[in-house]
């Protein structure tokens, strides 16, 4: 299936009072969204193997859900189909959407879904994307959520606060689906570097999280890991694995720059509380040895795993800790297999599995074709 979006007309927003909740990633998916790679500058000098890594991701995910792939045009779709067929992907489980993009990091620029507490329908929350307040090429990416909403004929919620659109990337948050959200101060509260929403303080974000995502409780961690050019995305360091438990990346080599950063986040979690006032259970996840290419430290982390219906996909780095990390996650996710995906080439793009994917939860009764506004 291929969907091509050509309309540039924007639907008119209106207010609708409802309770919206971002579900946990382990809840059943209708689909996973992913953008087929095309921007060679994301993997300079190492683009060749990247489509094959993507095909492995799609192969595993498509066993349990539809995979919705963003492609640039018909030729790009044809190339993707050819590779997917060669490794045995059932193309009946794949849908192609011809939405031109600037990059391929669907976690941050793709459609982000919430579910209604009233009728079980899903909607897309439209946060503004500005390429991590760092890069100039984002004007195609920013249109993807609206195009997805039109193609799915689902509602879209433009999120505003203090009269302006809110910038937020999917990789900067993680939720337990019960009202608690994880994020970092480095990413959202730094007023000098890669500033997403000038003038916002913690209370502003907490208001947005509650109104748009149903998160009444925010856990603020400190900084992200070394090599992360997003300036502190939480999905490289700390992730919920159930409603009361997180895995936290830990570096025990005191000479590594991640040691102090991750130890401080561990200390914060010791005093953190969930939405019901209970403590957060913390399971430590090792870090791989530093992955360096061309003198640049890359953001290699096992915490950037993705939870699909049929498997948990975990980036691996030809490191002795690969097996340790897979074992830890295997004990935590006993309801589905944990599968390693070779990510040494992938991480040269400064992201891995979670950065590339975005889940679309299953919905109940459908309410389609409207746009609603979350404002304050």
Q: Where are the alpha helices (DSSP H) in 220-272?
A: 257-271
Give the CA distances from residue 351 to residues 108, 115, 137, 302, 306, in Å, rounded to whole numbers and listed in that order: 11, 27, 17, 11, 12
DSSP 374: B
Q: Tell me the pairing of strands 66-71 and 312-316.
A: unpaired
Q: Which residues pair with 2 in a beta bridge?
A: 96
Listed in order, strand segments (DSSP E) in 133-275 are: 155-158, 160-161, 164-165, 174-175, 180-184, 217-221, 238-242, 245-250
What is the rounded radius of gyration, in angstroms, for the C-alpha atoms of the chain?
19
Q: Helix, strand, or coil here: 150?
A: helix
The two tokens of residue 44 are: 């300079």
DSSP 180: E
279 noted as active-site residue: no
Main-chain dihedrals φ then ψ at residue 213, nearest 5 degrees: -120, -5
Among 187, 238, 279, 355, the active-site one is 355
214/206 Cα distance (integer angstroms): 10
- DSSP code string of 342-366: E-TTGGGGS--HHHHEEEEE--SS-
Name, in order, each residue with C-beta under 8 angstroms of 335's C-beta and a sequence gap of 6 or more. none
Nearest to 170 by CA among 226, 227, 118, 236: 236
Q: Any idea which residues carry the catalytic annotation?
A: 355
């Amino acid at each position: 299936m291929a969907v091509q979006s050509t309309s540039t007309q924007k639907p008119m927003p209106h207010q609708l009072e409802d309770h919206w909740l971002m579900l946990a990633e382990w809840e059943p998916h209708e689909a996973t969204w992913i953008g087929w790679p095309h921007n060679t500058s994301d993997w300079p000098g190492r683009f060749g193997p990247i489509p094959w890594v993507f095909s492995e991701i799609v192969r595993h995910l498509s066993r349990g859900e539809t995979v919705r792939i963003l492609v640039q045009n018909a030729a790009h779709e044809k190339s993707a189909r050819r590779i997917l067929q060669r490794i045995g992907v059932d193309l009946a489980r794949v849908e192609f959407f011809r939405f031109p993009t600037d990059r391929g990091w669907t976690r941050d620029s793709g459609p982000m879904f919430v579910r209604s507490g009233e009728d079980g329908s899903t909607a897309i929350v439209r946060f503004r994307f500005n390429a991590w307040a760092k890069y100039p090429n984002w004007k195609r990416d920013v249109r993807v959520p609206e195009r997805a909403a039109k193609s799915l004929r689902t509602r879209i919620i433009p999120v505003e606060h203090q009269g302006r659109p809110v910038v937020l990337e999917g990789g900067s948050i993680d939720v337990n689906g019960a009202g608690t959200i994880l994020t970092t101060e480095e990413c959202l509260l730094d007023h000098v570097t890669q500033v997403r929403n000038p003038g916002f303080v913690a209370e502003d974000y907490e208001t947005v999280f509650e109104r748009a995502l149903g998160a009444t409780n925010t856990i603020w961690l400190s900084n992200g890991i070394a090599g992360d050019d997003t300036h502190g995305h939480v999905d490289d360091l700390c992730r919920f694995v159930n409603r009361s438990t997180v895995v936290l990346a830990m570096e025990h080599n005191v000479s590594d720059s991640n040691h102090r950063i991750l130890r401080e986040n561990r200390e914060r979690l010791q005093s953190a509380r969930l939405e019901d006032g209970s403590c957060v259970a913390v399971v430590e996840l090792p870090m791989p040895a530093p992955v360096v290419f061309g003198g640049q430290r890359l953001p290699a982390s096992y915490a950037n795993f993705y939870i699909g219906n049929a498997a948990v996909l975990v980036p691996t780095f030809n490191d002795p800790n690969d097996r340790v990390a897979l074992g830890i996650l295997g004990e935590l996710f006993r309801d589905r297999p944990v599968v390693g995906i070779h990510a040494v080439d992938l991480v040269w793009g400064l992201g891995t599995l979670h950065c590339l994917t975005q889940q679309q939860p299953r919905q109940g009764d459908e309410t389609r074709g409207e746009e609603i506004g979350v404002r304050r």
